[in-house]
Amino acid sequence: MMLSEDEFVIDRLVKYVGNGRVRWHVEFRGHRIELTTGQLKKQPTFRRKMLEQASVLPPQRTGANYRRWAVDLRKNAIELPWRDRPVDAGFAIDRLVSHGGDRWTVEYQGKAIKFTTTKL
C-alpha cells in the first residue's frame, strides 16, 4: 500500500552504536526495520525495505527533498549503545526484589532473573 506524505509518519528511529558499527531501527506501526546508514540514505533501498518488512511503500520524494528528510530523521534519532540484544528506549523492569545481603531478583517480561550485586 502506497502512503501519502501525511500518512507516512515514523514512530521512532533508534541509532545503535557499538562494535565499530552503526545500526538503525525504524519503528513504524508496530514493525521494526533494521537498516544500515547506507540503506537509510538511499531512497530506493529504504522504500524497498519498508515494503518488504512493513508492507507499506513510503511516498516518493525528489532527490534533494529525500536527502534533507533523511538527514533530519537521523539528527532526531534516539541514540543507544549496541548490545547483543538491543535494549528498548522504553525499557523498564517489572519488579526488583532484595533477598538480603547481595542477593537480588529482577522480574522482567514474566521471567525471574536471580543475581548478586557482584554480577551487577
- pLDDT value for 5: 67
pLDDT tens digits, the chain, 120 residues: what are they?
666 666 788 899 999 988 788 999 999 888 999 999 999 999 999 999 999 999 989 989 988 999 999 999 999 999 988 775 555 656 677 888 888 888 888 887 778 888 777 655
Query: What does the pLDDT look like over 55-73, one tens digit per residue?
Result: 989 989 988 999 999 999 9
In whole angstroms, what separates CA 35 from the centre of its chain?
Answer: 10
Question: How confident is the model at residue 108, as a pLDDT?
Answer: 77
